[in-house]
Amino acid sequence: MLLSHGGEPLRTAAPVVRWTVEQVLVLAPDESSRKAGGRLGSAGPWTGAGCDGSGAVWGLCKGSGSKPYQTVVDTTGPAYKCSCPSRKFPCKHALGLLLLWASDEAVLGPAEVPDWAGEWLDGRRRRAAQKAEPAGGDAVGAGAGPSDPAAARRRAERRAERITGGAQELEQRLTDLLRGGLAAADQSGYGLWEETAARMVDAQAPGLAGRVKELGAIPASGPGWPVRLLEECALLHLLDTAWLGIDRLPEPLAATVRTRVGLTGSVDGPPVRDHWLVLAQYDTPDGKIVTRRIWLSGKGSGRTALLLSFGAAGRSPGQALPVGVTIDAELTPYRGAGQLRAELGAQFGAPVPTGAPPPGSTATAAVAAYGQALRDDPWLESWPVTLRGVIPVPSGDGWQLVDAAGDAALPVTPSALSRPGLWKLVAISGGAPVTVFGECGHRGFDPLAAWADSSDDGAAETVPLI
Amino acid sequence: MPGTEPMPSTTTPWEELLTSALLGTDRRPLAAGAGPGPIALLDAAALHTVRRRAGLRPAAAAARPGTAPADPRPPLPPAARRRLAQLLADRSASSGAGGRRGAEPDLTELIPQWLAAANLRGFRAPAALLPPLLDAARARTDLRPQALAFAGPRGLWLAGLNPEWKFALRGSSGSSLLPEVTDADAVHRLWEEGLFAERVALLGAVRAHDPGGALALLTSTWATERAEDRLMFLDSLRAGLSAADEPFLEQALSDRSRNVRATAAELLSALPESALAGRMAARASSCVNLDLTAGDATVAVEAPHECDAALQRDGVVAVPPSGRGERSWWLGQLVEATPLSVWPGRFGGRTAQEIVALPVADGWGEELHAAWCRAAVRQRDPQWARALLGPPSLPPSNGPGTASLAERSKLLATLPGAERAAWVAGFVAAHGLSEAFQLLGVCPVPWAEPLGRSVVDALDIARDAGSYPWSFSGVMGLAERCLNPAEADRLEVLTTTPDEPEGASPGAAGYWSEAFRRLVSTLRLRAAMDAELGAETA
């Protein structure tokens, strides 16, 4: 009962359609790489540049030294290799090469793969093929498993005990807080929460630690903070008690609680092969770690999936997919109720840079979907939805997305109001209905991608809003 | 969610929970039923919170802003669209950049060219790129006219929703809000009730369509306009100036405002058939004459002795700026306002060339030639401009006209494009680049072949002389924007790094090679941009 057929990924003979400049630019790890890549995105410094039908792009870039840098990109990954000493990933040469590929067919045309690029490409694709093999042959459940199950179980039990200790301590802290009153929390300042968060890190419960840290910021978050503080305290208490009583929870909810507390969930087959449209990719800094979220929508399955990856300070997360392309790939979902997180498995062929939007719903259906999802995961901040036929409308200091066919509206989240993407959305709408993908939650709707409903600029082009 | 409504609750009201939480359960225990302690409070609050979130309902819709006007222009070809995205992305990324320019093209410098080319071909701006386009226009005033034209009606619609783009709604953009110039009622209404900027734009639009109609519009309210406004309105008559405007202008010569009078006189003097031009010609003829008594023909000058009321009414300013003699000041204005066509008759049928070559008595030559230069510019007379410019090979200080480069570039601007380029090419070939910058600026783009070649040759000579390329960065930048992209292949040979010539500045050869590489890659890029924009119109 496999949805995947494993084995050698298919390689199409037709030339790979080029990405757009925007699609390349979202791959840049930071602003300075983006700028440096832009400067290298013209023919000037490049020699021997070319691409082939399998999605490989290569070129030699003249640097300050005598020997040019060898840059090669496998756009099906995407994966990059460059002989420059940069620690950025992808480096400015890879970005420049992709920009050149995106914008100048005359300079970067189909060619024979040179040896220096071919070796790396072959090695990479061989490994990818091998990786696809066990994923396909491994079937449902078990996974490869640790080498010593007994030792692993002991480690897991020890960690669970520490988390339990942490959760009990946190409960104590919350009850003390409410016994004394939240009004005092305004004065007690950030230090106390920092200390508590550090205790949760010690207890190996990063999920609890993250929530505690956010509590600390609420008293300074402006009018209405007591309401928000009480809500978040209450949800943290709910999570504590859920963990302490996890044995009595049904398994899907228990898995969700484990994930919320901060235990890494396990991927839980079977893999789903589909044509996945990349809806959005964005990074959120979280202390020293950068979290990258990539939203995908399956054309055949209708499923929405989330790829999470993490990058340490100064390095961008390894996984990157250009928004608006469709990849033929396998995704393996994570365990847990209402979980959308998945892991990207084998890819079949190069990404195709077009994709019609997922079927959408109304504003009313969107909040209902969020409400439904809360039944599986009450700690959920938002739920991914696609709105069809909505008009961005200014409303007071903010914006709304209004159902063109009715009077229902979703306010745009405050965090989205300051992003340039909002104006892109308004521009492509021009006051007419559009399709918008985003995260719908109790703070409002956070638009992440849009499609003009009537456009002759290029049919159903995905416009990233973040 | 702000603006959404929670479902009604049947348990302890949220307000009560909140009060208790704020004051603390020790001081304010919850009412009986739920249990008094903090745990009960947290349990109830959690229930409330999840219930509230799960029961969210959409907010009521605010008033819709109305849709953007349709833009019938065709969309950009995909490659050109990608290029624009890259140009705009580079613009926003290049803030805070510094240091040497390197060998890569400066994309920011190419945005104006790209916009001009796209507008020329009549493409519509991609909606998703309107925000960065408006941002670019906000940051750079020189981009605004082209950027706003390209942004079109949807760009204006969008700008109306964002206070940061207010600039787009002012001034130049008024044109898209103007009524049809054939709609007499709407035109009259706007002329009577519009804001000043709208009225200026309206007058310009009507003038372009129907010069007489514009004049009639202006006359209808002339007496009630403020002096500054009269001056601006009068200025709009420059376009399409004809003999039909003379009666109105003649009347404006007795205006209350001195500036209005001077402008009216200036406009009249550009009409060789006007009565004012005739009066000026009569006066100038008594001042400037051919003197054959001394054997060789010379020009004799007798500057006016007074600036009477009639002369002042014809726009001559009586009081000279400090440091200038009264009589030469009056003479200059007189000759400047005199139709150039009267001189051949006064000088025995000589051509402009021959007249300019005549010696001038008593040191009046400089004054007289300068006045002729201004007259040639004002009356847009290429024959006189040609004569006053002289051959390009002549050193600037020995030219027949004036030595000022600003005057020369104005004279050049009256010549046909090809001739302009040829003249500057000759100038560069004879005198190098150091004084050519201003002259290059008035040549049509892309530069004609001989001009391009002489600029590149001059750069090559400067390199051989061992100077640094940044001494020529102004011309280099112009060359990147103005050379014909087809020249790129021919320039390739200059990008190599030759051995340093003796006495050269250290490292100069490398920097030159870099500068030429940038020039070549910029030209290649421009060729690619043109091809992308032309791809679908060809």
State the helix-helix crossing angle for B130-139 and A420-429, rounded to 10 degrees. 120
| Strand ranges, E, within A238-357 | 272-286, 289-298, 304-311, 326-333, 341-347
How do A398-403 and A408-411 pair as beta strands? antiparallel
Most confidently modeled range among A140-154, A430-444, B6-20, B361-375: A430-444
Rounded-to-integer distance, Cα B431 and Cα A59, Å: 44
- The residue among A442, A443, A446, A465 with the most chain B CBs within 10 A of its CB, best to mutate, is A442
Segment holding A155, helix H or strand E: helix A149-180
**DSSP helix/strand/coil, A73:** strand
Neighboring chain A residues of B107 at a CB cutoff of 8 Å: 38
Segment holding B365, helix H or strand E: helix B365-378
Torsion sign, CA atoms A97, A101, A103, A106? positive
- The residue among A230, A376, A418 with the most chain B CBs within 10 A of its CB, best to mutate, is A230
**CA dist B423 to A336, B284, B442, Å?**
80, 31, 11
Cβ–Cβ below 8 Å for A411 and B3: yes
Most confidently modeled range among A126-140, A178-192, B319-333: B319-333
DSSP A265-292: P-B-S--EEEEEEEEEEEEEEETTEEEE
**CA dist B122 to B111, B114, B142, B201, B531, Å?**
16, 12, 20, 22, 15
Q: Among A376, A356, A371, A374, which Cα is nearest to A437's?
A: A356
Exposure on the CB side of residue A381, measured as CA atoms within 13 A: 10
Rounded-to-integer distance, Cα A317 and Cα B408, Å: 60
Nearest by CB to B50, from A363, A378, A402: name it. A378
Q: What is the pLDDT of residue A329?
A: 92
Contacts of A275 (CB under 8 A, 6+ apart): A298, A299, A300, A326, A327, A328
Exposure on the CB side of residue A326, measured as CA atoms within 13 A: 19
Contacts of B77 (CB under 8 A, 6+ apart): B532, B533, B535, B536
Q: What distance, in Å, lies between the first and last C-alpha atoms of chain A?
A: 38
**DSSP helix/strand/coil, B475:** helix
- Please state, rounded to an integer, the average pLDDT across all residues of chain B: 84
Say which residue the tokens 């340039």 belong to: A420
Give me the total of CB pairs closer than 8 Å, taking one residue from chain A and one from chain B: 242
The contacts found for B151-155 with CB under 8 angstroms, 24 or more apart, are B151/B125, B152/B71, B152/B73, B152/B124, B152/B125, B152/B176, B153/B68, B153/B69, B153/B70, B153/B71, B154/A427, B154/A430, B154/B68, B154/B69, B154/B71, B154/B125, B154/B127, B154/B130, B155/B125, B155/B130
Q: What is the pLDDT of residue B293?
A: 80
B 113-132 near A (Cβ less than 8 A): 126-128, 130-132
**Who wins on pLDDT, A210 or A16?**
A210
Which tokens hold the place of A79?
């994966």
**DSSP helix/strand/coil, A110:** strand
Neighboring chain B residues of A394 at a CB cutoff of 8 Å: 62, 65, 161
Q: What is the pLDDT of residue A91?
A: 86
Rounded-to-integer distance, Cα B16 and Cα B93, Å: 52
List, in sequence order, the alpha helices (H) in B245-325.
Answer: 246-252, 258-269, 275-287, 309-313
Q: Among A220, A201, A226, which Cα is nearest to A211's?
A: A201
Rounded-to-integer distance, Cα B18 and Cα B12, Å: 10
B94 interfacial to chain A (CB closer than 8 Å): yes
List, in sequence order, the alpha helices (H) in A354-456.
Answer: 363-376, 414-417, 420-429
Say which residue the tokens 């030219």 belong to: B399
B527 interfacial to chain A (CB closer than 8 Å): no
Cβ–Cβ below 8 Å for A442 and B1: yes
Neighboring chain B residues of A49 at a CB cutoff of 8 Å: none
pLDDT tens for each residue of A303-343: 999 999 888 766 667 778 888 889 999 999 988 767 799 99
Which tokens hold the place of A21?
């400049």
Instruction: Give φ, ψ of B529 to 5 degrees.
Output: -60, -45
pLDDT tens for each residue of A193-226: 888 899 999 999 999 999 998 888 888 888 889 9
Q: Among A76, A32, A73, which Cα is nearest to A49's?
A: A73
Which tokens hold the place of A101?
């590929």
Neighboring chain A residues of B53 at a CB cutoff of 8 Å: 370-371, 374, 441-442
Which tokens hold the place of B24?
């603390």
When pLDDT is cut at 50, 70 and 90, the band that residue A10 belongs to is: very low
Neighboring chain B residues of A432 at a CB cutoff of 8 Å: 67-68
Asked if residues A242 and A249 have their Cβ atoms less than 8 Å apart, the reply is yes
User: Torsion-angle region of residue A356: left (phi > 0), alpha (psi -120 to 50) or beta?
Assistant: beta
Say which residue the tokens 């909505």 belong to: A390
**Positions of chain B with pLDDT under 50:** 2-3, 5-9, 94-99, 172-175, 536-538
Cβ–Cβ below 8 Å for B82 and A174: no
B59 interfacial to chain A (CB closer than 8 Å): yes
Q: How many CB atoms lie within 10 A of CB B180?
A: 10
List residues bridging with B284 in a β-sheet.
Answer: none
Q: What is the pLDDT of residue A142?
A: 42
Cβ–Cβ below 8 Å for B45 and A41: no
Instruction: Give φ, ψ of A40 to 5 degrees.
Output: -90, 0
Nearest by CB to A181, from B24, B79, B85: name it. B24
Q: What is the pLDDT of residue B502?
A: 67
Say which residue the tokens 């833009």 belong to: B71
Rounded-to-integer distance, Cα A18 and Cα A73, Å: 13
When pLDDT is cut at 50, 70 and 90, the band that residue A392 belongs to is: very high
**Who wins on pLDDT, B3 or A272?**
A272
Rounded-to-integer distance, Cα B258 and Cα A319, Å: 72
Nearest by CB to A175, from B39, B83, B94: name it. B39
Q: What is the pLDDT of residue B518?
A: 86
Calculate Rg over the CA atoms of chain B: 34
pTM for this model (two decimals) = 0.75
Rounded-to-integer distance, Cα A370 and Cα B102, Å: 52
Q: For residue A77, is pLDDT > 80?
A: no
When pLDDT is cut at 50, 70 and 90, the band that residue A433 belongs to is: very high
Torsion sign, CA atoms B265, B269, B272, B276? positive
Neighboring chain A residues of B93 at a CB cutoff of 8 Å: 31, 34-35, 38
Rounded-to-integer distance, Cα A252 and Cα A164, Å: 20
How do A434-441 and A408-411 pair as beta strands? unpaired
Say which residue the tokens 């000026």 belong to: B280
The full length of chain A comes to 466
Asked if residues B245 and B267 have their Cβ atoms less than 8 Å apart, the reply is yes
Query: In chain A, pLDDT over 90 holds for what percent of residues?
Result: 39
The residue in chain B having the minimum alpha-carbon distance to the alpha carbon of residue A382 is B53
Asked if residues B206 and B220 have their Cβ atoms less than 8 Å apart, the reply is no
Rounded-to-integer distance, Cα A233 and Cα A196, Å: 13
Torsion sign, CA atoms A171, A176, A180, A184? negative
When pLDDT is cut at 50, 70 and 90, the band that residue A240 belongs to is: very high
**DSSP helix/strand/coil, B416:** coil
Asked if residues A39 and A381 have their Cβ atoms less than 8 Å apart, the reply is no
**Who wins on pLDDT, A364 or B178?**
A364
Kindly state the average pLDDT of the residues A38-51.
80
Rounded-to-integer distance, Cα A164 and Cα A158, Å: 10
Q: For residue A297, is pLDDT > 90?
A: yes
Segment holding B264, helix H or strand E: helix B258-269
